[in-house]
Amino acid sequence: MKTGNQVVADLPWKWGVQGKIFIIGGLGYMFDAWDVALNGFLTPLLAKEFSLSVGEKGLVATANLIGMAVGAVVWGTIADRLGRRRAFSLTLLVFALFSVLGALSPNYEVFLAFRFLAGFGLGGCIPVDYALVGEFSPSRLRGKILSAMDVWWPVGATLCGVVATLLEPADGNWRWMLTVMILPALLLFWVRRGIPESPIYLAKTGREEEARAVIDDLVARTGAPAEPYTIAPPPKATAGRARGLRAAYEQLRLVWSFNPRITSVAWLLFVAVMTVYYVALTWMPTILKDEGYSDVAAFAKTTLMTAVGIVGVLLSAWLVEVVGRKWVIGISAPISAAALIAFAASLHVQTAALVWLGIFGFLIQLAVPVLYAYVSELYPTKIRASGFGWASSVSRAVTGFIPYIFGSLLKPALGLTWTFTLLTGVTIAVVLWMAVGAPETKGRELDEAEADVESGADEPLPVGAT
C-alpha cells in the first residue's frame, strides 16, 4: 500500500491545482528578485542624494542582503516548526511594511535600517516557497518544476530594471522605486492565504486528519483514481520543542548531523554561485556609469542582462532532467563566471562587452535554478526548509558583505578583470567538491536521501548517477 507522500508524488500535474501553487509561490520569488536587483539601481541614486563614499554605497546592498540572511534562517525554522503555509503568507507582509517605511526614510542611516528589516521579511520567501512547491509537485516532474521556479527571478529582476529605467528621470526616483512594489506584494499576501498546508509536512508532524483531507482533495481535483494509503506516524519527540534562537540552533544541528558532506556542498555552492551573481547584479549599473554611460543607459543594459536570463531558466528546466542537476551546475556556473572576465577585459569595446554581459546573464540563469532545485532535494522533509534556508542564509550573509568588499577592497586592489578571475577560480573549486561530495538527485524520491543515510548508504553517487 502506498504512503500519503507517494500518492502526492504520483499525482498528475494540473495547472489548476499544483500549477496554482507554483504560480503563487513563484510570484513571491519574483519579489525577492525585484528587491535584490533594486539594490543595484538604488546605489548610484542614493550616492548622489546622500553624497555616499564607495564603502557607504556598498552598504546599500549589504544591509538588505544581511537582512535576507537572517530572514532565511528564521523563516526556514518557522516553516519547519509551525508550517509552510503560515510562513508562506507572513514573509511578504513583513517585507511590504518595511519597504513602505524605507521609501519614507529621512536619511541614509534610517534607510539602511528599514532595508535590513524589509530583507528580513523577504529572506524567507525562497526557502519557504521552494519547500512548499516541491512538496506538492509530482516526483517525475519535480526537478523541472523547481528549476522552472527560477524563471520568476529574471522576470522580477527585469521588471525592476524596466521600472527603475522609467522612474529614473522622476523627482524622488528612488522613493518611487521602493513604493511601486508595495501594492502587488500586499495583493499576493492576501492571495496566499488560500494555499493549503503541505500534506507531507502535516503527515511528518502527526496531523494525520489534516493531511488526509489535503491529500484527498488533491486526488479529487487532479482526477487521479482514489486508492487506500497509509500515513506513517511521526518520529517520537525526545524533548520539548525549542523556541526562538534555540530552535534555529537545533535546526542547524540537524542540518549538519544529517550529512556534513552534503551540507558543506550545499553551503559552498550557494556562496560561490550567488556571490558571482550578486556582484554583477549589485554593481553593474555603477560599473557601466563609471565607463561613461548615463543612468538610463546603465540601467537599460543591466536590465538586458537580467532579461536574457529568462531564456536560460527555460532551458535549465529541460536540461535538469536530461543530464542531471550536477552536470548543469558544474558546467554553467564556472563558464558564467568566466564570461564576466571576458566582459571586464572588453569593457572599452561597447558591443563586445554587451555581448559578454548577455552571455553571463544567460549562463548564470542556467546554474541558479538548478542549484535551488538540487539543494532543496538533498534534505529530507523534516529539515528541508531549514536545510535550504541555512544554505541560502549563509550565502546571503557572505554575499551581503561582497558589495562592500568588492567596491572598497577587491576592485581597487585587483582591478575588475582579476577580481572576476578570482571569483571564477573559487567557483571551479566548489563545483569540483560537489562532484565528489554529494549525490545526484535526479529521479530520487524526496526522502530517499534520508532513507539512504539511515541505512548507512550515504556514499555519494557518481556524477550524473541516479
Q: Three-state DSSP class for 53?
A: coil
Q: How far apart are the first and last CA of the chain?
A: 24
For 280-299, what is the mean pLDDT? 87
The tens digit of pLDDT for each residue in 92-103 reads 788 888 888 999
| Residue 350 vs residue 445, higher pLDDT | 350
19's CB contacts (< 8 A; 6+ apart) are 13
The tens digit of pLDDT for each residue in 47-82 reads 889 998 888 888 888 888 888 878 877 776 777 676
For 3-27, what is the mean pLDDT? 89
Q: Is the pLDDT of residue 463 over 50?
A: no
| Residue 173 vs residue 232, higher pLDDT | 173
| Domains observed in the chain | 2-226+242-455 (1.20.1250.20)
Q: How does residue 238 score in pLDDT terms, banded at 50, 70 and 90?
A: very low
CA distance 241 to 214: 26
CA distance 198 to 320: 24
Length of the chain: 466
112's CB contacts (< 8 A; 6+ apart) are 59, 60, 63
CA distance 44 to 57: 8
Q: How does residue 307 score in pLDDT terms, banded at 50, 70 and 90?
A: very high
pLDDT of residue 216: 95
CA distance 92 to 128: 11
Percent of the chain with pLDDT over 90: 32
The tens digit of pLDDT for each residue in 153-194 reads 888 889 999 999 999 888 888 999 998 877 777 767 776 667
Q: Is the pLDDT of residue 295 over 90?
A: no
434's CB contacts (< 8 A; 6+ apart) are 265, 268, 269, 326, 329, 330
Q: Is the pLDDT of residue 453 over 60?
A: no
The tens digit of pLDDT for each residue in 309-337 reads 999 988 987 888 788 889 999 999 999 99
pLDDT of residue 452: 47
C-alpha cell of residue 142: 519535480
Q: Is the pLDDT of residue 241 over 60?
A: no
Q: Does an H or E element contain 304, and which?
A: helix 295-322
Averaged confidence pLDDT in the chain: 83
Three-point CA angle 442, 432, 255, nearest 5° = 60
pLDDT of residue 102: 92
pLDDT of residue 148: 77
CA distance 93 to 270: 26
Q: Is 400:61 a contact under the CB 8 Å cutoff?
A: yes
312's CB contacts (< 8 A; 6+ apart) are 154, 361, 362, 363, 364, 365, 366
